[in-house]
């Protein structure tokens, strides 16, 4: 990189990456819990993809029954601490709270859930569920992200012998390696892994299925297999200059940032982030908070078409990110290192997005972060016999999560093309019941 962003003091880094939604005090949590109306139809519960019985866990906070509250939460969602901190609550549970209709502040469900889960971790994660007696069946879970973890936890409770195989040395998937540090810490995700291991789930890390362990070996070891491998392959831009020094994939960049070793992360003075989804926003805000002086987001469509949530967009704007809408990267300019990003303006012609001829303009930058999407690992998945993949997603039965190869089940980003942690957690749990039904017919 030509120009490195100036290093900040330890205090500045900590302040830049301080939690956006800090913990509630006991008094504040009780006051907030007592505001809950315990609605008869709990729209918050319907809006939560894992359908946590929200009013009940909140009622239990109000009565001081923290253990019971944790049990209510965990019986629906095995990665409830991550979800409490990272879920887009504004568009899910809190967005559905009836207080919104009254023009009042919704119940802070995310922070209350975090209050309970923090209590649970601080109190040594006591065993709340008794696993069923072993049923003699064994399941292999590929991927230790939220989908794999949730599936493994539920299977263990149902009496299965479960082993998770994770390519990374440290488990947790994107909960550990992707979510912005101002939302949660890696340790939160690792605590969830610890809790799931306490249920009897075995984990093998550094195990890349398809390479270090073959599919056929896995099939011999297990009666059923769950695929929770997410979207590990970044989409390439396919423009000249993509291999220059200073060009990064968003996933590699954000993973570096989650380690909280701020000074060691390479950041340019002027950074262009290509893309406009939530991952792009995270990469841009993180670059800025690490000290980049100018951060630009480049997007070929307009603000209305951005897939990032409104609150993420507002966060980026308040961090001083500058947006180039209707701009399409044409090439990354530089001899050995990035010097500029050349773009073309775009406009809609006959309903189609087209670059405007001779509209080239250059943005001087010393770092480019590519955040235009992620994909399944096609080469690995296509080695599983009879596994149908459509539009870049593993095809499953909507109820049982069984794939077109009956021994395999799947969930999370690899079946939905990339949603949220909470969707992956739900899929994993439901797939456990799909597996039980297939094996035992119940």
Ligand X SMILES: Cc1cc2nc3c(=O)[nH]c(=O)nc-3n(C[C@H](O)[C@H](O)[C@H](O)COP(=O)(O)OP(=O)(O)OC[C@H]3O[C@@H](n4cnc5c(N)ncnc54)[C@H](O)[C@@H]3O)c2cc1C
What's the closest the beta carbon of residue 362 comes to ligand X, in angstroms? Answer: 28
**Who's near 224: CB < 8 A, 6+ residues apart?**
137, 139, 140, 407, 408, 409, 435, 438, 439
Position 273 contacts ligand X (CB under 6 A)? no
Number of neighbouring beta carbons within 10 Å of residue 263: 10
Position 166 contacts ligand X (CB under 6 A)? yes
Reported as type and span, the H/E element at residue 189 is: helix 186-198
Q: What backbone torsions phi and psi does residue 421 show, to the nearest 5 degrees? A: -55, -45
Position 147 contacts ligand X (CB under 6 A)? yes
Q: Name which of 334 and 380 has its Cβ closer to ligand X.
A: 380
Q: CA-to-CA distance for 145 and 421, rounded, in angstroms?
A: 9
Burial status of residue 416 (CB atoms within 10 A of its CB: 0-12, 13-18, 19 or more): middle
- Angle (CA) 148-414-233 rounded to 5° is 110
What's the closest the beta carbon of residue 387 comes to ligand X, in angstroms? Answer: 13
Cross-strand bridge partners of residue 328: 344
Position 86 contacts ligand X (CB under 6 A)? yes
The region of 36-44, 113-121, 241-249, 414-422 touching ligand X under the rule CB under 6 A is 414-422
Among 203, 413, 431, 434, contact with ligand X (rule: CB under 6 A): 413
Contact set for ligand X, span 112-141 (CB under 6 A): none
H helix intervals, 52-183: 54-62, 66-74, 80-86, 93-96, 109-122, 146-157, 174-177
Among 421, 431, 432, 435, contact with ligand X (rule: CB under 6 A): 421
Q: Name which of 178 and 246 has its Cβ closer to ligand X.
A: 178
Contact set for ligand X, span 7-46 (CB under 6 A): none
Q: Name which of 200 and 417 has its Cβ closer to ligand X.
A: 417
Taking CA atoms, 303 is separated from 287, 297, 324, in Å, by 21, 11, 10
Position 286 contacts ligand X (CB under 6 A)? no
The region of 59-67, 164-172, 286-294, 362-370 touching ligand X under the rule CB under 6 A is 164-172
Q: Name which of 258 and 346 has its Cβ closer to ligand X.
A: 258
Position 174 contacts ligand X (CB under 6 A)? yes
What's the closest the beta carbon of residue 319 comes to ligand X, in angstroms? Answer: 16
Q: CA-to-CA distance for 176 and 255, rounded, in angstroms?
A: 8
The region of 131-139, 187-195, 229-237, 355-363 touching ligand X under the rule CB under 6 A is 229-237
Among 50, 258, 279, 346, contact with ligand X (rule: CB under 6 A): 279
**Who's near 19: CB < 8 A, 6+ residues apart?**
85, 182, 183, 184
Among 232, 246, 329, 334, contact with ligand X (rule: CB under 6 A): 232
| 18 CA to centre of own chain | 19
CB 48 within 8 A of CB 54: yes
Site string for ligand X, 250-269 (x = CB under 6 A): ----x---------------
What's the closest the beta carbon of residue 394 comes to ligand X, in angstroms? Answer: 11
Buried residues in 127-163 as b, exposed as e (16+ CB within 10 A): ebeebeeeeebebbbbbbbbbbbbbbbbbbbbbbbbb
What's the closest the beta carbon of residue 271 comes to ligand X, in angstroms? Answer: 16
Contact set for ligand X, span 339-398 (CB under 6 A): 377, 380
Among 106, 110, 178, 241, contact with ligand X (rule: CB under 6 A): 178
| 189 CA to centre of own chain | 11
Q: CA-to-CA distance for 301 and 81, rounded, in angstroms?
A: 35
The region of 102-110, 356-364, 382-390, 411-419 touching ligand X under the rule CB under 6 A is 411-419
What's the closest the beta carbon of residue 411 comes to ligand X, in angstroms? Answer: 7
Position 277 contacts ligand X (CB under 6 A)? no
What's the closest the beta carbon of residue 419 comes to ligand X, in angstroms? Answer: 5
DSSP assignments along 141-167, one per residue = EE--SHHHHHHHHHHHHTT-EEEEEES
Q: CA-to-CA distance for 281 and 178, rounded, in angstroms?
A: 12
Nearest of 146, 108, 251, 126 to residue 195 by alpha carbon: 126
The region of 155-163, 186-194, 208-216, 218-226 touching ligand X under the rule CB under 6 A is 208-216
What's the closest the beta carbon of residue 120 comes to ligand X, in angstroms? Answer: 20
Number of residues that bind ligand X (CB under 6 A): 41
Reported as type and span, the H/E element at residue 31 is: helix 26-35
Among 49, 106, 145, 234, contact with ligand X (rule: CB under 6 A): 145
Tell me which residues touch ligand X (CB under 6 A). Answer: 86-87, 142-148, 165-168, 173-175, 178-179, 183, 207-210, 228-230, 232, 254, 278-279, 282, 377, 380, 412-414, 419-422, 424
């Amino acid at each position: 990189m030509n120009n490195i962003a100036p290093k900040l003091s330890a205090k500045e880094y900590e302040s830049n990456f301080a939690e956006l939604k800090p913990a509630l005090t006991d008094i504040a949590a009780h006051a907030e819990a007592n505001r809950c109306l315990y609605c008869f139809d709990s729209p918050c519960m319907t809006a939560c993809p894992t359908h946590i019985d929200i009013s009940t866990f909140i009622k239990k906070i109000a009565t001081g029954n923290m253990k019971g509250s944790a049990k209510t939460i965990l019986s629906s969602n095995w990665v409830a601490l991550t979800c409490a901190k990272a879920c887009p609550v504004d568009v899910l549970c809190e967005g559905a709270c009836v207080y919104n209709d009254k023009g009042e502040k919704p119940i802070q469900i995310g922070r209350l859930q975090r209050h309970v889960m923090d209590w649970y971790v601080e109190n040594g994660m006591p065993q709340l569920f008794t696993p069923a007696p072993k049923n003699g069946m064994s399941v292999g879970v590929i991927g230790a992200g939220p989908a794999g973890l949730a599936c493994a936890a539920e299977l263990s409770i149902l009496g299965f012998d479960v082993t998770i195989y994770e390519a990374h040395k440290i488990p947790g998937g994107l909960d550990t390696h992707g979510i912005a540090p101002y939302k949660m810490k890696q340790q939160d995700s690792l605590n969830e892994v610890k809790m799931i291991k306490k249920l009897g789930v075995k984990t093998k890390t550094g195990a890349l299925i398809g390479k270090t362990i073959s599919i056929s070996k896995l099939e011999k070891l297990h009666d059923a297999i769950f695929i929770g491998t997410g979207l590990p392959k970044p989409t390439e831009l396919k423009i000249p200059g993509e291999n220059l020094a200073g060009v990064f994939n968003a996933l590699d960049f954000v993973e570096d940032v989650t380690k909280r070793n701020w000074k060691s992360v390479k950041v340019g003075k002027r950074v262009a982030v290509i893309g406009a989804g939530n991952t792009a926003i995270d990469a841009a805000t993180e670059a800025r908070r690490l000290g980049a002086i100018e951060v630009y987001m480049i997007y070929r469509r307009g603000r209305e078409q951005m897939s990032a949530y409104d609150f993420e967009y507002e966060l980026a704007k308040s961090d001083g990110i500058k947006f180039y809408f209707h701009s399409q990267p044409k090439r990354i300019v530089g001899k050995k290192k990035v010097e500029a990003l050349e773009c073309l303006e775009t406009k809609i012609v006959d309903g189609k997005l087209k670059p405007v001829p001779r509209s080239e303009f250059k943005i001087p930058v010393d770092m480019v972060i590519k955040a235009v999407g992620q994909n399944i690992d096609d080469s690995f998945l296509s080695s599983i016999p009879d596994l149908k993949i459509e539009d870049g997603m593993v095809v499953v039965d909507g109820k049982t999560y069984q794939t077109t190869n009956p021994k395999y089940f799947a969930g999370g980003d690899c079946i939905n093309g990339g949603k949220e942690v909470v969707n992956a957690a739900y899929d994993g749990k439901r797939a456990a019941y799909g597996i039980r039904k297939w094996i035992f017919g119940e």
